[in-house]
Amino acid sequence: MSAGPVVVLVGPMGVGKSTVGALLAERLGVGHRDTDEDIVAAEGRTIADIFVEEGEPAFRAIEKRAVHQALAEHEGVLALGGGAILDADTRELLDGLPVVYLSMDVEEAVKRTGLNTARPLLAVNPRRQWRELMEARRHLYTEVARAVVATDDRTPEEVAQAVLDAL
Ligand code: S3P
Which distant-in-sequence residues (6+ apart) come within 8 Å of 128 by Cβ?
Answer: none
Q: Which residues does 34 contact at the CB level (< 8 Å), separation at least 6?
A: 17, 18, 21, 78, 79
Give me the interface pTM, i.e. the ipTM. Answer: 0.97
Whether the model clears a pTM of 0.90, i.e. scores above it, the answer is yes
Q: Which residues form ligand 1's pocket by a CB distance below 6 Å?
A: 13, 17, 36, 47, 81-83, 119-121
**Minimal CA–CA distance to 88: which of 161, 144, 19, 126?**
144
pLDDT truncated to tens, each residue of the chain (167 aa)?
Answer: 577 899 999 999 989 999 999 999 999 999 999 999 999 999 999 999 999 999 999 999 999 999 999 999 999 999 999 999 999 999 999 999 999 999 999 999 988 887 655 677 777 788 888 899 999 999 999 999 999 999 999 999 999 999 999 98
Nearest CA-CA partner of 32 in 89, 88, 70, 86: 70
How many angstroms does the Cα of residue 142 sit away from the middle of ligand 1?
17
Domains annotated on the chain, with CATH:
7-155 (3.40.50.300)
Single out the residue of 89, 116, 96, 95 nearest to residue 12, CA to CA.
116
